[in-house]
Amino acid sequence: MLYKREIIVRGGCGGDGCVSFRREKHVPFGGPDGGDGGDGGGVVIIASPDVIDLTFLGRKKEFVAGNGYRGSGGRKHGKKGEGLAISVPVGTMVFAKAGSGEEMLLADLRTPGQQVLVVKGGRGGLGNARFATAVNQAPEIASKGEPGEERHIILEVKLITDMCIIGQPNSGKSTLLSAISRAKPEIADYPFTTRQPILGVMPGDKRDFIVAEIPGLVEGAHLGKGLGNEFLRHVERTKLLVYLLDGSSPTVMDDLRTLDNEIALYKSLAQKPKIVAVNKIDLPEVQARLPEVKQRLSNLGMPVFYISALKGQAVLELTKKAMAMVEQASRDEELISEAQIAIFRPKPRK
């Protein structure tokens, strides 16, 4: 899967204006009747729920809209160039890259159908009918169409999910995702099985929930270590974080501390709601040290569940709590967005 791509977009050129004069029979001294050229097409980027990543762009580097058509006699204007629409996943951020390397945000396509015009097509040229004056009644000039705009565009996908499963390598993230959703991720007994974010749909009572599994995080992931740095940006737009811990690890508390630190150090994600799930409690060695683990996590300040993703033990309780926290987070976001809307109430002059 591809979640970041740099492309070049170019609007179509405008069509040239036409130099033409009336030549009808029995019409002496026919004047100029050259039509204008058509405008070039623009390039639009639109968010589509049918697209999941940027792989469909392939190796194509440049995307060009259609050119406008040339004007013709009889004051006939040329046809406009065909516009180009590029579909991207919902949650794509569109940046314009300047010559100095600076990036300017053009749009954040968070909702299906939302679109942004990134480049305009060139204007069509004027026909000689436009240049006729009282002094020059038979102009033999017409203007050429203008070239379309050109931009270097950076597309960056940030998945919009309800919850993200985060854990260290081989903690059972793929097993949990397959247990609570319809996803079928690769499951193996070696670390870094997941190398791309995997989405799953978890059915709920009132609606379905989108769940993402992020590749395993290691210490220093926010600095580029391991596979987590490239995909931590997908955590920015989730409503709930599920910390999945390997119960068979001898350093469960250290593992939790590492996950929490990496999340906090990446663009201040520490304020997001969190759930802790200790996995693999079906194993005898985990059962033997479970009382000690429970005691150490008793004052954590966030919900803690002890589950077996493989056997399904306590998974239902975990999902119910997760759904409730997602709904609460959604309501909180709505209240914040409503509070940020500025309402101006001008007073009367007298």
For 65-76, what is the mean pLDDT? 94
CA 263, CA 276: separation in Å to the nearest integer? Answer: 14
Provide the residue ranges of all domains of the chain, joining segments of one domain with +.
4-157, 163-337
Picking from 141, 136, 125, 135, the residue whose alpha carbon sits closest to that of residue 20 is 141
How many CB atoms lie under 10 A from the CB of residue 4?
15
% of the chain with per-residue pLDDT over 70: 86
Torsion, CA 279, CA 284, CA 287, CA 293, rounded to 10: -60
User: Mean pLDDT of all residues in the chain?
Assistant: 85
For 86-108, what is the mean pLDDT? 89
Joined tokens for residue 261: 């630190």
Question: Per-residue pLDDT tens for 1-15?
Answer: 678 899 999 999 999
DSSP letter, residue 206 = S
110, with CB counted inside 10 A (0-12, 13-18, 19+), is middle
CA 36, CA 71: separation in Å to the nearest integer? Answer: 5
CATH number of 4-157, picked from 2.70.210.12, 3.50.50.60, 3.90.1150.10, 3.40.50.200: 2.70.210.12
Residue 92's pLDDT band, with cuts at 50, 70 and 90, is: very high
Picking from 4, 32, 1, the residue whose alpha carbon sits closest to that of residue 18 is 32
pLDDT (0 to 100) of residue 189 = 53
- Provide CB contacts within 8 A for 131, sequence distance 6+: 32, 139, 141, 142
113: left (phi over 0), alpha (psi -120 to 50) or beta: left
Picking from 31, 38, 40, 37, the residue whose alpha carbon sits closest to that of residue 131 is 31
Q: What are phi and psi of 263, to 5 degrees?
A: -65, -40
CA 229, CA 85: separation in Å to the nearest integer? Answer: 31
pLDDT (0 to 100) of residue 334 = 72
pTM assigned to the model: 0.75
Question: Per-residue pLDDT tens for 197-233?
Answer: 788 888 888 888 989 888 767 565 444 444 445 667 7
CA 315, CA 114: separation in Å to the nearest integer? Answer: 36
Joined tokens for residue 148: 């379309």
Question: Per-residue pLDDT tens for 290-343?
Answer: 999 999 888 888 999 999 999 999 999 999 999 999 999 888 777 665 555 555
Joined tokens for residue 100: 């100095």
CATH architecture of 163-337: 3-Layer(aba) Sandwich (3.40)
> What is the SS3 assignment for 3?
coil
pLDDT (0 to 100) of residue 321 = 94
Residue type, 30: G
How wide is the angle at C-alpha 6 spanned by C-alphas 227 and 114, nearest 5°? 95
